Amino acid sequence: METITGFVEHIVFRNEENGYTVLNLAVEEDEVTCVGVFQFISEGESVELKGEYTVHPSYGPQFQVESYAIKAPQDIVSIERYLGSGAIKGVGAALAARIVRRFKEDTFRIIEEEPERLAEIKGISERKAQEIAEQTEEKRELRQAMIFLQNYGISLTLAVKIYQTYQLDMYRIIQENPYKLAEDVTGVGFKIADEIAHKVGIHMDSDFRIRSGILYVLQQASLEGHTYLPKELLTRRACELLEVDTDAVEKHYMDMTIDRKLVMKQTEDQVQIYASTFYYMELNVAVMLRELNVKYDFSETAVEQRIRKIEELSDLKLDEMQYIAVVEAVRSGLLVITGGPGTGKTTTINTIIQFFESEGMDISLAAPTGRAAKRMSETTGYEAKTIHRLLELSGGMDEHAGFERNEQNPLETDVLIIDEMSMVDITLIHNLLKAVVAGTRVILVGDVNQLPSVGPGCVLKDIIDSHACNVVRLNRIFRQASESDIIVNAHKINRGEPVVLDNKSRDFFFLKRYDADIIIRVVIALIQEKLPRYVDAKPYEIQVLTPMRKGLLGVERLNQILQRYLNPPDEKKKEKEIGQRLFREGDKVMQVKNNYQLEWEILGRYKIPVDKGVGVFNGDTGIITEINEFAETAEVEFEDGRQAEYSFKQLEELELAYAVTIHKSQGSEYPAVILPILSGPRMLMNRNLLYTAVTRARKCVTVVGSETTFAEMIRNEKQQQRYSSLDRRIRELDESEQKESAIGEKGLS
């Protein structure tokens, strides 16, 4: 290992996420290009670097840095160079020269110990002298803080966040209660805080630890879709996590409720415990839905005449339930329309749009995902946006969304129609309703038999179950749809009826195979040879859906194998390995967490941007178009034309998407779907899951696997229980209003 010393002349590139830096180092008379991870290093600083000389295939000789130390500038030239480099804001080369000429080798001592003396120099006021001293001190403090936090295994990015949140108070907090970090700093979860606490020597039964652990369990439960947990279940999970007894956990519930960290609700048969955020979210959504749920006085005759005119002009005939849906949309402030595939939801929406349009009303259409919004635009002929775009996502801090549209700046529309409501979670509906003013008609459309949202809550189901607003169920399968076995079989699955597997269908096939590796070979043959021609689609548009992540037919194994066959290694294609995942140019990928800050653009002709924005969301799929090893970035083009640049660190947010779980396919539609089914956990292999998978296909479904497992899935109604209570919050509001009204009437009499 070699050691070189010099000063940083120029920083060529820096990845702010992981600290990877390319810089030019002046070493005596030479200039050396150095690469490595530098925590905090500025132009003009003197450094000692240890590492090896290497030769990059594209960029030539480089010094690969293993470790480094920042050295205080020793001689007058170095001090001047450092001060004039821009490291200290407001001090340029000329001013640096004057400072060093006046104080020589004593410059740094003067700045640190007698900063007021800087005012002796022309051009420096007392205030400016103080600012220079503060900046120098701050830099030193920041470096010391970084080194301190590194001792606890904290990454650079998190260390910066921690320092910015607490400044010098962080030393006290880490010593006394590192669990506070999990509450205040995004990215520091319970596990990291617990590791720090262990190193600091905080006891297992510390109050801080147990309280933080309880909140962590509730947060993990929200990732499973729950807005609360029954007390017994929360206690059991917290005890397992913290390795303490029941009493040690339960004694904190009341205090945490008083501190407004938790909300406890007693029902007939259990105590429900919420992280207060989710309780108040459900409560606020219930209040806002109730405010929207008003009746409008429209002449029945006038409405009927208008509908008949629309039917005439559009050359269509609504059935009874579709007609009722349009009438209720006109007369109700809040309406839910639910129905399976082929039941005429699109025709109903189009008629509603035409009705309100003829009234001169402004209409906004939205859906939870880019794919669903695109499909809504195609079927209605009107622009539909994602809910995030409708609310004008502003790229909130870290993992939290910030929206321009809210109570202060509401949506300017008369009618709001949301499609694919089964995918909307409690957080998204809460943000949406905050931006809707009373008097706006809100129409929620979805299939209640689909899987619930990935995020917490069961919003559509809970609204329907509350019986507090008008719900129209479309249940007739229209003639055109009834010719499709995809739709016929989907409804059979939903009703628990057996499906005929004789392969006489044109769009629903069953290939019986009983070995996982043989099933995979069949899947590859279908994608590469059979289906593209049959459904007129490219191989990467054909989607493999599977119930599980793990196992012989799980997403993880399938993706590795499918990548090998569908996008094999090629010397022209660059690759990047992140943990256990290998990404290659040309790979089909999916975003697996919401990133509210990732910038994207849509390029028109001649690569000129025609649209820009922020936010890429869980479930968005695209193709890796470029991997840039020097800049440490990867370019992804999504299906709707958005292009986003990922740093290598952000690639953790992507997964290969040749195969995806059925849960992740919600709201999407594909030309052809392949379902490999062999066996799996009973809780997972259920009717609901199969129904969702089949309804994702537009032209063709091919099931490959065991007919016995397929039949069992149809019979199995069991679903994983999801703890949510929006329906209860809505009913409570109704009950309290009835009580108030009864008291009022009594008073009048």
Residues in CB range of 316: below 8 A, 6 or more apart? 347, 351
Cβ atoms of residues 19 and 38 within 8 Å: yes
Distance, in Å, from the CA atom of 594 to the CA atom of 145, rounded to the nearest integer, reads: 30
Low-confidence ranges of the chain (pLDDT < 50): 397-398, 748-749
Grouping H, G, I as helix, E, B as strand and the rest as coil, residue 474 is strand
Q: How far is CA 233 from CA 208, 216, 229, 255, 280, in A?
A: 21, 14, 6, 19, 21
Side chain identity at residue 588, one-letter code: K
Give the long-range contacts of residues 133-142, CB within 8 A, separation 24 or more: 135/88, 135/89, 136/88, 136/108, 136/111, 136/112, 137/112, 139/40, 139/42, 139/87, 141/167, 141/168, 142/40
Q: How is the beta sheet containing 659-661 ordered, strand by strand?
A: 508-512, 697-705, 670-677, 543-546, 659-661
Q: What share of the chain is helix, strand, coil (3-state, %, to 5)?
A: 45, 25, 30
Distance, in Å, from the CA atom of 649 to the CA atom of 17, rounded to the nearest integer, reads: 7
Cβ atoms of residues 354 and 360 within 8 Å: no
pLDDT at residue 431 in the model: 95
Side chain identity at residue 98, one-letter code: R
pLDDT at residue 397 in the model: 46
Distance, in Å, from the CA atom of 349 to the CA atom of 375, rounded to the nearest integer, reads: 13
Count CB-CB contacts under 10 A for residue 311.
Answer: 16
Count CB-CB contacts under 10 A for residue 563.
Answer: 21
Q: How far is CA 89 from CA 92, 95, 138, 459, in A?
A: 8, 12, 12, 51
Closest among 58, 17, 54 to 34, alpha carbons compared:
54
- Name the helix (H) or strand (E) containing 22: strand 20-27
Question: Which residue in the block uniquely carries the two structure tokens 């080798």?
Answer: 105
Cβ atoms of residues 717 and 686 within 8 Å: yes
Structure tokens at 667: 């709201």
Question: Which residue in the block uniquely carries the two structure tokens 């057996």?
Answer: 498
Distance, in Å, from the CA atom of 644 to the CA atom of 629, rounded to the nearest integer, reads: 16
Q: How far is CA 400 from CA 1, 186, 397, 554, in A?
A: 44, 9, 6, 31
- Name the helix (H) or strand (E) containing 528: none
Cβ atoms of residues 363 and 382 within 8 Å: yes
Closest among 738, 739, 725, 741 to 286, alpha carbons compared:
725
Buried b (16+ CB within 10 A) or exposed e, 144-162: ebbebbeebebbbebbbbb
